[in-house]
Amino acid sequence: MGLIRLIKEELKIIKERDPAIHSGLEVILYPSFKVMISYRISHRLYCKGHYFLARLVSQKAARKTGIEIHPGAKIGSGLFIDHGHGVVIGETTVIGDNCTLYQGVTLGGTGKEQGKRHPTLGNNVMVSAGAKVLGSFTIGDNSKIGAGSVVLSEVPPNSTVVGVPGRVIKRSDCDCPQTAMNQTDLPDPVREDIMNLQKANAELINRVLELESRVKELSK
């Protein structure tokens, strides 16, 4: 892809997904725009074996934007990094098309192992603010990772994951998170568990009171 076409694509992605944009000129100031242009350049250098130059370009972009993308990462088209400060994308990360990452997201490894050690994100995946996805596994297409979650294992397609460690709390046939970009309206499994325990406890108490009443009647 030529540089002009690449710039036009990045401009289009940001204008489509960020409601705060009021003019096209604003887009060129966005960290996501700057870092993705730098990443595409550094990735080409990396693939050609120019590792030092690739890291030089990526590190300059990291200092300017607060977003660190290793030039060895493989990123599809349509990635949008909203705000983006504190985002880290590791060397063997693979990101599909039309994904969205928010500030503070880490796509990292879990140690010093060699080979594939970072996650793979499918298409149309949204990773919300502060979430950490650690290890070599796949986040399925159309999945959403809730804010602050720590994901340590594979996620099926069309899933919503929340918690520490992250667990799947919702699945649907087709739930593309890119349409609404909603980070907040997520199920709360902890609250649901507490409510179920409270209900079970109330039923148990009523049963005990009923048995005590019967015992008193029989003892008369």
Which residues, at least 6 apart from 11, have a Cβ–Cβ distance to it below 8 Å? 24, 27, 28, 33
* C-alpha count within 13 angstroms, C-beta hemisphere, residue 121: 34
Same domain, 126 and 194: no
Same domain, 89 and 165: yes
Which pLDDT value is given to residue 106?
A: 96
Same domain, 174 and 199: no
Enclosing H/E stretch for 126: strand 126-127
Same domain, 143 and 201: no
pLDDT of residue 206 exceeding 90, the answer is no
Same domain, 139 and 193: no
Same domain, 76 and 174: yes
Total structural domains within the chain:
2
For 21-35, 93-107, 141-155, which range has the lowest pLDDT when averaged over its residues? 21-35
For residues 29-58, average pLDDT:
93
Which pLDDT value is given to residue 188?
A: 67
User: Which one is predicted more confidently, 26 or 119?
Assistant: 119
User: Which one is predicted more confidently, 187 or 29?
Assistant: 29
Which pLDDT value is given to residue 88?
A: 96
Instruction: Identify the DSSP state of 66.
Output: S
The domain containing residue 200 runs over which residues? 188-220
In this prediction, residue 87 has a pLDDT band, given cuts at 50, 70 and 90, of: very high
The string of DSSP letters for 78-112 reads T-EESS-TT-EE-TT-EE-SS-EE-TT-EEE-SSS
Enter the tokens of residue 205: 């108490």
pLDDT of residue 181 exceeding 90, the answer is no
Which pLDDT value is given to residue 180?
A: 56
Same domain, 33 and 70: yes
State the pairing for strand pair 132-134/144-145.
unpaired
Same domain, 212 and 168: no
The string of DSSP letters for 153-208 reads S-B-TTEEEETTTTEEEEE-S---TTTT--SS----HHHHHHHHHHHHHHHHHHHH
Enclosing H/E stretch for 134: strand 132-134
Same domain, 130 and 213: no
Instruction: Identify the DSSP state of 117.
Output: -
Same domain, 11 and 67: yes
pLDDT of residue 177 exceeding 70, the answer is no
Q: Please state, in angstroms and rounded to a whole number, the distance separating the CA atoms of residues 184 and 101.
A: 15
pTM: predicted TM-score of the whole model, two decimal places: 0.75
Q: Please state, in angstroms and rounded to a whole number, the distance separating the CA atoms of residues 20 and 1.
A: 28
Same domain, 154 and 82: yes
| CATH assignment of the domain containing 124 | 2.160.10.10
Question: CB–CB of 139/131 below 8 Å?
Answer: no
Q: What is the largest CA-CA distance in the chain?
A: 94
In this prediction, residue 187 has a pLDDT band, given cuts at 50, 70 and 90, of: low
Same domain, 154 and 206: no
Which pLDDT value is given to residue 182?
A: 60
97-133 per-position pLDDT tens digit:
999 999 999 999 987 777 899 999 999 999 999 999 9
pLDDT of residue 173 exceeding 70, the answer is no
